[in-house]
Structure 1
C-alpha cells in the first residue's frame, strides 16, 4: 500500500540506496513522463487491490485500460468485437496449512512454502532425510521419505530438475528445497504471498502426488532440531558449495492442508492500430505488458496489499501512452496492443493469446514485451532478451546506441529471466520477440540499488506508487521504447530470426 516516503517506511539502508526523487515526477519532468506516471498511479492504486487474476480489482483495472485504448483511437480486438479476450483458468489454493517436525511448528508461507496440486494429500506424516545437494550418489535409502536439499544454483552441482529426478528414482515422495541465501544475484524472499496453482481452464489434471516444498534457510534449525547437525553451519557450507553431509532427521514431518478449487476468469485487454502500408498488413507487431499483480497476500511490514506498480502497471501505462501519442495514426505495420492477464500465475494470458490470436497466427510478425523493468537508477546499460536470436535484438541495440545506452546480452542467465515473461511464449511459438532489463556494472551503486529492490520490493507490498524512482531513467527508457517501436513498425523488413539462433523452434 502507499507510504508517504521511504523515511517513514524504510530503513537506513533503504534511505542510503534511494534516488532523490520520490512518489511523483518533479516539476522539471517532461509532460509525457508525468502523464505516464499518472496512469501508473491509477492502475496500481489501492482501489485496484493489486489486480489479482480473477478479482474485481483486476476487472476495474482492465476497464481503465480499455477506456484509455478507446480514447486513444485504437480499435477493439477482443472477443466479439469488444476490448476483452476472456481467459478462463482453474485454480487450486492452499487455504490453510499446519506443519511441524516433532513438536517444532513451522509457519506456513514464512518458514515453508508448499506448491499446491490437485493430487496432493491433505494429511501427511513422513520421515525426513537431509542429503546435501541431492545428487543421485548421495541419496542412499530415501524411499517413502521427503528429502531435504540445498537449492544451490552453482555450476557443477545438481539443479532443481536433476535433484527431483534423482529423488523420484530413489523412491522419495517429496523434496524440501532450502532457498539458497548464497544466491545473491536474486536473494530468496520471504514471506510468500500465498500458495496457488493456476492453469488454463481445461488443462489435464495432474495425478502426480510428488510434493515440492521450499524452506526458508532460517528455519532449517527448526527442521533438524538441536540434537545433531549445526543448521547454521550447513547453510553456510551449502551457500559456498562446500561438501555437505547426509543424515536422517530424528522426527517426522506432520502436515495437514486445507485445499480449495475454483474456476476464475480475467480478460486480456486488446487494442488494434491499423497499419498504413497495405503491403505490410499481414505483419502485425504485438506490444505487450501484463496487467495482473498479486493482489492481497501475506502482510509485510504491516502491509498486505501487493500494488504491483513497477511489476507491471507502469508498463501497461506505457502502452497506453504510446497509443495516446499516435491518436489513431498508424505506423506502416499494424500494432496490436496487449495487456495480459495471468502472467504472475504462469504466463497464462500470453499463452492463451498466442493459441487464440485475434488475427491469423501467421500474421504475428513480432513481439516487444515490457516487464522486468526497474527505473530506479540511471539507464546506461540495457539487457536485451534474445539479442542474438532475432532482428529485434539488432534493432534494440541500434536504438539504444543512438540514445547513449549500451545494449548487452543477459549477464545472469542462471536467473532464467528469458523465460519469466511473455516474450517467451512468443519465442516458443516461433515469433521473434524481445524484452528488457535495466543493466548495471558489477560493484556499482546501480547494482546495489537493484539488488536491494529485488530483496525488498519485488513481489512485495513495497512495490507501490510511493517507492523511489529515477525519473530521468524512466523517461530515458520510455523514449527508447517509442523509438524502437517506430523503427520496427516502419522499417522495410519485418522482424526475422537469425540463422544461428538456438531459440528458434525446430520445424
Structure 2
C-alpha cells in the first residue's frame, strides 16, 4: 500500500491503530485473520519508515507501532521502560585514509594498498589503533575438542599477530562447523593464546563463493556493537591492536619467507587436507583510526501471562527482528528504500497476529514472551543484548520460536524447521504442522548453516532449545514450484529495494504460517515437560542439558 507522502508520521501510526481497534471491536474470535497480518505488513514495509535501519527514526516508528499493538492486545510490558528495552550501541566509522598495512621492516618493508590489497573494519574499542609484531600462520585458527582438532598445537602466538585462512575443514557438519569456524570463535581462540592482532586471508575457495571485489561494496559501512554497563563493546577482543583482511596476492607477499608457499596451502585447503601452522619469519604493521558515536535502538518486549500457578513462571519465547537495512548506498537509483517486506516485516506481522490470537484464546499454562528485536542485520545484536540482559530470568525461558523472513509468496505445503534435529521441538513442529496438513521437510541447504544465522542462535548459546521455521519448497498449487519462487526471491529481491509491497504477497499463506506457529507455541506452553536437547546434539552438549 502506497501512503500519501504529506501524511504526518504521527497521524499515520494513529490511523492504523484506529483501524485495527475497530476490527477488534467487530470480532472477538480467536482465529487468525489474514487482513490483520496484511495491515501490519503494509505499515511496517511502507516507504515512510525508510527501511527500519537500526537507530533510525523509521525504526523508532516501527517499534512504537509494535508497542502500541502489544498494549492494545493487553499484553504485560516486559521491557526496562514499559514495552521498550533500549539497547545502547557504539557505532564506529573507519577513517579510510588512515589505514596502514606494512609487511616486514626497514628498507625492504612492503606497504600494501587499501583497498586493492586489504580491507579493514572500524575499531569499536579504540579511535586509534596501531600494532607491529611477528606473524604466525595458524591454519584456519580453529580448536574443536569434539573433532580432535587444534590449529594452535605446538605454536607460540603470545604477543604476536596470527594469520588464518577463511573457512574450516569441509568434513565438519555444516551447523557445527559454522559455529566453530565463525569469526567470533576464531578471534576468541587467538585471544586465549595471547595474540595481539588478527589477519584473515582470502582464498581461492572463498573467491568462488564470494569474490574479494564483491566485498568491496561494503567499504565504509560502520561497525556496530552493543555496550555493557561499563560502556565496553560486547564480544570484542580488546587485546587486539589491529586486524585486516588480505586478498590472495597480498597474502602471497606475507608468505614470502614462509617455509611453505601460500599456493601449496591453498592446494591443501581445496583438497580438504591437513594444514599445519608455522612462523612466517616476518612482521606486520597494522594501523587505523576510527570515529565513534553512540546510538540507541529498542527491543520491544511483552508477556502473555500463563494460567498455571506453577508453570506461569516459565516462558515460551517468540522472537522476530524488526530492523532492516535502511537506504541503499547507490544514490543514483530511483528507489533507495530497502523496505524489507519479507525481511522481516512478514515475521513481525505474523508475531503480532500470533500474540492477538493467543491473548483472545484460553490462556496457555506457561507464559508467552514476545520479543521483537533490533540489530539483527548488524550481527544478531538486539537478541544478543536481550539474551545477556534478560528482563525475565534466563533459566525460566524454556524454548524459543523464531520468526525470521517467511517468504510468503506461494501456497507452501511444507515447512522447514532449522533446529528440529537438535531438540524435542522437532516433534512438536511436525505434530503442529501435520494438524494443518502441512509437512515437515529436512533442511534442503545444510551447507548454508542457517541454524546459526538468525536471532534464535543467541538463545541456543544460553542453553535454550530453539526452532526457526521457514516456508518449505513444496507448493499446494499445481504447477507451482515453491523452491523456485523461494530461490528467485533471494536472487532478485533479498536485501534490495524490490523486497517491497509490490511483491505478490500471499496472505492465505501468511494465515497458514501463523496458524502453524500458534500451534507450536501452544503445544510447548501446555505440555507437562519442558523441551529438551537430544543426546547427540552438538549444541545441547556444548550449551545445555541433554536428555529429559
Q: Distance in 2 between matches of 1:260 and 1:422?
A: 28
Name the structure 2 match of 1:195: 222
Q: Distance in 1 between matches of 2:389 and 2:194?
A: 41
Q: How do 1:25-424 residues align onto structure 2 when only pairs under 5 Å count?
A: 32-80=33-81, 82-94=82-94, 96=96, 112=119, 114=121, 116-119=123-126, 149=165, 151=167, 154-155=170-171, 173-178=197-202, 180-183=206-209, 191-192=217-218, 194-202=221-229, 204=232, 206-209=237-240, 211-214=242-245, 241=271, 257-296=288-327, 298-299=329-330, 302=333, 304-326=336-358, 328-333=360-365, 334-424=367-457
> What is the CA-CA distance between 1:65 and the residue it aligns to?
0.6
Unaligned runs of 5+ residues in structure 1 are: 3-29, 247-251
> What is the CA-CA distance between 1:208 and the residue it aligns to?
3.0
Alpha carbons 1:354, 1:425 under 8 Å: kept: yes
> What is the CA-CA distance between 1:435 and the residue it aligns to?
1.3
Q: Distance in 2 between matches of 1:167 and 1:87?
A: 27
CA displacement 1:271-300 (0-9 Å, x = unmatched): 222234435322322211111223345338
Unaligned runs of 5+ residues in structure 2 are: 3-30, 102-109, 142-150, 257-262, 278-282, 475-479
Alpha carbons 1:267, 1:341 under 8 Å: kept: yes
CA displacement 1:396-450 (0-9 Å, x = unmatched): 0112223333324445444332222232232333333221233448xx9544544
2:502 paired with 1:466:
yes
Q: Which has the higher contact order (CA 8 A, sep 6+)?
A: 1
Q: Distance in 1 between matches of 2:140 and 2:459?
A: 34
Name the structure 1 match of 2:17: none
Distance 1:119 1:322, change over 3 A: same
User: TM-score under structure 2 normalisation?
Assistant: 0.66
How many positions carry a matched residue from both structures?
462
> What is the CA-CA distance between 1:99 and the residue it aligns to?
6.6
User: TM-score under structure 1 normalisation?
Assistant: 0.71
SS at match of 1:488: helix
Name the structure 1 match of 2:514: 478
Q: Distance in 1 between matches of 2:389 and 2:195?
A: 40
Q: Distance in 2 between matches of 1:126 and 1:460?
A: 42
The CA RMSD over aligned residues, in Å, is 4.9
Distance 1:68 1:146, change over 3 A: same
SS at match of 1:89: strand
Alpha carbons 1:189, 1:455 under 8 Å: kept: no
> What is the CA-CA distance between 1:305 and the residue it aligns to?
3.8
